[in-house]
Structure 1
Amino acid sequence: MADHALTVPLRSPLAQYADRLAAATRTSDGAVRLAELPFLTQVDVRLDAKGAAAEAVGLALDLPLPLQPNTVVRAGELTALWLGPDEWLLVAPPGGERDLEGRIREAAGEEPVSVTDVSAQRTTLLVTGPRAHDLLAHGCPLDLHPRAFGSGRCAQTTLGRTQIVLVARDEPRAGFWVLVRSSFAGYLADWLLDAAAEYV
């Protein structure tokens, strides 16, 4: 019997906000720009940072796992975020989950490692522009001054009472990634749009 399963197109958690985010960007005179980066590959990796698997995985990915707390390492389109002494989040373009998982498992071999695809758990908001720091500072308890939270930094924190992973991007004027659980994405988008009204 033929399989007649319905194929439903993917819909991002913030699809209904696309026009509002774009409108805020147009009216803010470039002070703040907001956009969703939907469907990024996100793979959570747990292993012993001092064990053989950490080095093997780093070699296989051509990206050493960051060992300094709250730091980011980037190589090409792959980004590794330090989340804890034995935990990292790997972020890559959409659709690379299986390949990334396979490479990590193969590199780790018999060493203990946990590899979990969490791509559907979160979406990513891009916050850029000259006033991006100011906008995020309205609702984030961290010191976001570039001296304290400059490029190549990340943190698990809150923004507008929502748990997020915040990443200071390393390219010039690249702004921030705000990784938020899909179930809270709409609330956070509303909060950002409201807070950004000050810069319109």
Structure 2
Amino acid sequence: MPRSAIEHLSGALARTGGPARLRELPFLSQVELRLDDEDADSFGPRVGQFLSCEIPAPHRATGKGDPHILWMGPGWYLVVDRQNRALGLLAGLLSAIGGDCGGTCGSAVDVSAARTVLELSGPAAQEVLRHGCALDLHPRSFTPGTCAQTNLAQAQIVLHQTAPHDYRIFVRSSYADYLTRWLLDAMTEHLARS
């Protein structure tokens, strides 16, 4: 039976609430997709058709739920879906990018075990993040649908804003305990108010 990266902190997570809530979304399916720049225009629509959402523009995410796609860099995307969907994603993505060019137009790799996902939500979520993130998180700069690779409390993360007060934080499993404890500490003042 697989164990989540921060299962041992579930009691502390359950005590969060009010203006700032934190929970783990364990075992989400995550597939990294690489498309060669010159082939992205050709194969992007096929990938989008398979996933029912478009390839995102830089620093954006697309999709209205699961699956959704995060832009990670030029020609580099992270496809995220519910648990136990990685093999189906992988097969569909490889089929979408492999057809006309002998499989040399890009690659797809299951990276589900590499990261866990934390969800920070509530009206104080942005303030909690600002304690350790150098990004400009003001609503004029960072809006729902925005994503970026950055550091939070010296841990490398992918930050995805999913709604006005909701953020998903993708963190390597080896840093999940550290970052969760840091977030719980940064939330202390907000939890005391609720």
- TM-score, normalised by the number of residues in structure 2: 0.91
- Name structure 1 gaps, 5 residues minimum: 1-8
Query: Which residues in structure 2 correspond to 1:42-53 (within 5 Å)?
Result: 42-51=30-39, 52-53=42-43
Q: Which amino acid aligns with 1:157?
A: T
Rounded to whole Å, the distance in 1 between the matches of 2:68 and 2:50 is 14
Rounded to whole Å, the distance in 1 between the matches of 2:37 and 2:89 is 18
- Name structure 2 gaps, 5 residues minimum: none
Query: Which residues in structure 2 correspond to 1:111-190 (within 5 Å)?
Result: 111=103, 112-170=105-163, 173=165, 175-190=166-181
Rounded to whole Å, the distance in 2 between the matches of 1:132 and 1:63 is 27
Q: Is the 8 A contact 1:62 1:75 kept in 2?
A: no
Equivalent residue for 1:70?
Answer: 59
The Cα shift of 1:48 comes to 2.4
- TM-score, normalised by the number of residues in structure 1: 0.89
Q: Which amino acid aligns with 1:70?
A: H
The Cα shift of 1:23 comes to 1.1
Equivalent of 1:41, from 26, 29, 36? Answer: 29
Superimposed CA distance per residue, residues 25-78 of structure 1 (whole angstroms, 9 cap, x where no aligned partner): 3xxxx1100000000001000012442222221222222111x21101014411
Superimposed CA distance per residue, residues 158-180 of structure 1 (whole angstroms, 9 cap, x where no aligned partner): 1011000000004x64x000000
CA RMSD of aligned residues (A): 1.2
Rounded to whole Å, the distance in 1 between the matches of 2:155 and 2:131 is 13
DSSP 3-state at the match of 1:169 = strand
Equivalent of 2:13, from 21, 26, 32? Answer: 21
Q: Is the 8 A contact 1:34 1:125 kept in 2?
A: yes
Q: Runs (4+) of structure 1 moved beyond 3 Å?
A: none
Equivalent residue for 2:185?
Answer: 194
Rounded to whole Å, the distance in 1 between the matches of 2:125 and 2:37 is 33
Rounded to whole Å, the distance in 2 between the matches of 1:15 and 1:76 is 24
Rounded to whole Å, the distance in 1 between the matches of 2:143 and 2:64 is 18
Equivalent residue for 1:3?
Answer: none
The Cα shift of 1:113 comes to 1.4
The Cα shift of 1:24 comes to 2.6
Is 13-22 or 108-117 further displaced after alignment?
A: 108-117
Rounded to whole Å, the distance in 1 between the matches of 2:61 and 2:171 is 17
Equivalent residue for 2:2?
Answer: 10
The count of aligned residue pairs is 185
| 1:54 and 2:44 matched | yes
Rounded to whole Å, the distance in 2 between the matches of 1:36 and 1:75 is 20
Is 178-187 or 41-50 further displaced after alignment?
A: 41-50
The alignment-based identity, stated in percent, is 42
DSSP 3-state at the match of 1:93 = strand
Rounded to whole Å, the distance in 1 between the matches of 2:50 and 2:29 is 17
